[in-house]
Chain A
């Protein structure tokens, strides 16, 4: 069975603070993919990043960075120097290699105050 847990329901920070969104997953598959999506108030889901289970290198893209640790089954997402435009609900998701179905976490609502 696959499961994604985002324990933080809501996080509120002040602009320019760093913030980390946690994601813990469960899977019996040895090959799988992890994703983060952003859902701004407009409602659409925007793809942010994909990692495969063989690649534990952390990734940085501008103010965004991702820390994938297979040993703890975690795929955490950090926003550095947060901005008001980062306010959104962020979803972590898991997909097995041989199964095209994605399992989403419950989402974390991030509010960045000016």
Chain B
């Protein structure tokens, strides 16, 4: 049973459309992350949040934006999708009070922009 949920699992969308990828976690974790991953390739951190109303850009420049209005919810939005956005997007969370633990990952959203 997953504690972190990503929807949709797969998405095919036309160029220029606005899309929001959803990520929710039920563990009360304060920190959340978005990674972009091309198939079989390394993970690139694109956004992270250390708590409500806190968002930062990650290592990889991204044209997406995020928001963190509630602890459990960390959606990622692309205002105008392009074929270069085709990738897998992985959401993760962690609890800063449980210092020794790693991240819990969602199942990912595979996005294809045509």
Chain A residues within CB distance 8 Å of chain B: 33, 35, 37, 42-45, 47, 50, 52, 89, 91, 93, 95, 97, 100-102, 104-107, 109
Contacts and interface: CB of A to CB of B under 8 A. Distances in A.
Contacts of B41: 106-107
B102 A33 contact: yes
Secondary structure of the B side of the interface?
Answer: loop
B47 to A, nearest CB: 12
Contacts, number: 50
Interface in B85-108: 88, 90, 92, 94, 96, 99-108
Contact of A45 (B48, B100, B105): B105
Label chain A's interface by main secondary structure: strand
Nearest to B31: A100
B1 interface: no
A95 B102 contact: yes
Nearest to B10: A43
B102 A44 contact: no
Contact of B108 (A43, A102, A104): A43
